[in-house]
Amino acid sequence: MKNGIHPEDYRLVVFKDMTNDYTFLCHSCASSSENITWTDGNEYPLVKLDISHTSHPFFTGVVKFVDTAGRIDKFKSRYGRLTK
């Protein structure tokens, strides 16, 4: 490994999935302006995530159904008169 290219500030950080409130603690150098008290009583930096392995469709097997037919019909009813 090359010297001087890796960050030196690795520390324990709490990551929180905002879609289902799942939290986990791991080492990271991600910056954060918020802190949270973990189950061990210590305070750690908090990084909020939009998605994690507990909410991603690949890992959960649950796919959100998007009503594309309804969206297309709504678009055609709204703008269909302009194409005639």
Looking at per-residue pLDDT, the higher value among 56 and 15 belongs to: 15
Contact by Cβ (8 Å): 55, 20: yes
Q: What is the pLDDT of residue 66?
A: 52
Cα–Cα distance for residue pair 15/54, rounded to 1 Å:
12
Placement of tokens 């649950």 in the chain: 62
Cα–Cα distance for residue pair 66/46, rounded to 1 Å:
32
- What pTM value is reported for the model? 0.63
Percentage above 90 pLDDT, the chain: 35
pLDDT at 5 over 80: yes
pLDDT at 67 over 60: no
- pLDDT (tens digit per residue) in 31-54: 899 999 999 999 999 999 887 777
